[in-house]
Structure 1
Amino acid sequence: MRFMTTSDKPENTVTGIAAQDWATASADPQYRAAVVDLLGALAYGELAAFERLAEDAKLAPTLEDKAELAKMASAEFHHFERLRDRLTEIGEEPTLAMEPFVAALDGFHRQTAPSDWLEGLVKAYVGDSIASDFYREVAVRLDTDSRALVLAVLDDTGHAGFAVDRVRAAIDAEPRVGGRLALWARRLMGEALSQSQRVVADRDALSTMLVGGVADGFDLAEVGRMFSRITEAHTKRMSALGLAA
């Protein structure tokens, strides 16, 4: 998943679960269930991203571009492996942890299948990043071990510059392409936010975590501010691409 621009909130005073390690925090069964859900959702998201990027590589106009997307796909699969291994390490079956999120994530990718190379790049840069921002917001309230893993697998795979350069070059060569891609990015924004909300709403442990029933610090007002930060980060990414938000 992942091109990051949103800034993490400062944690001047870390308390509660965010100050505990996994061994301590996971004694709470509801918290444990929430983390298993989160890792399962992320693991399937990374696996789906790997599959999609490998498929999008077929649309690449040059061998250089094809190789770059293949490299991005490889990074996504490595992230998946880390999450899968962590689920196994804590005594959970990775397939069972991922299964509840297959329908929602597959539905998102079906509804946002790119029609060409440029739409694929915009989706990788903008669409996936919205979901990553959402998970990163949740991660700051996790125990120290889970937080470190989640932030690591959401880290930028190092190819944000590649996507920006290719899209901006295409717009410079044919300015009217920018209007089409701007509409596409707006659609991605709406679909990604809806998908993130569905994932949480369908899982009691995750939704409880988000509104403050398990992890510390979130409440309904904070959820609103969280989505405002995600929207602001989206606007910055659009600007980087040379597109109007």
Structure 2
Amino acid sequence: MKTLSHDRLAVALLGEADRFGAAIAGAAPDSRVPTCPEWTLRDLTLHVGVAYHKSAAIILSRPAAYVPFEAVTIDEPPAFAGLGDWLRDGAARLVAAVTEVGPETPTSTWTPDRRAGFWTRRLTHETVVHRADAALTTGAPYAVDAELAADGIAEGLGLVSVFSRLQHPALDRTPLRGTGETLLFHATEPDVAWLARRTPSAVEVSDEPAAADVVVEGRAADLLLALSGRLAADDTRIRVSGDAELFRHWLAHTRF
């Protein structure tokens, strides 16, 4: 599957931020998020919004070296009632920043992909998943465009592959190295699949369907939520055939 264009992702990010803001409107800020029980709804919203505002600031500073989020100062977020508009503003700032410098321009990121456009794609899919968290907390409606969800699966699997090669303190995926075990993730809407092969040195991901030790199928929107730990492995919206324990092991070591 071809990666969605930066323009398509930028439009999606603005829409996702707007829907996130709508999902939290009028809700209790101290509500516990069932899929992230260590967070309140306010914590969840700040997590997303801070990423928008800080990544935009980093991009516009045109850094020559890595800049950790902790080193970036932004204005104090507003009270909870104003966080929806703050989210929307942060997403707009990020899109404007990437547009100003160009999505292919080098910048600071926490992956080997050092392009400014990394932030648009990463934070679009971050928002898609965390909007599900917000919707589960507040009871707001939730739906995701199928092609956007499929791109989110591809992006997430790409990050798993990258961090299965590297020993990153926060995103270590080296426990997923293996001896040739295979997992096939098949999105039925749209019809696209990814094969993950666990080798001794890394997880190798391709979009060439093949026989696998376990096959996990579902609509792209549901498969994305399952792979991000928002749907249980035995949820009826997901079909697992083959070595279910292999899939459970994958889930245990891939949650962001």
- Return the TM-score normalized by structure 2: 0.30
- Return the TM-score normalized by structure 1: 0.31
The structure that is strand-richer by fraction is: 2
The structure that is helix-richer by fraction is: 1
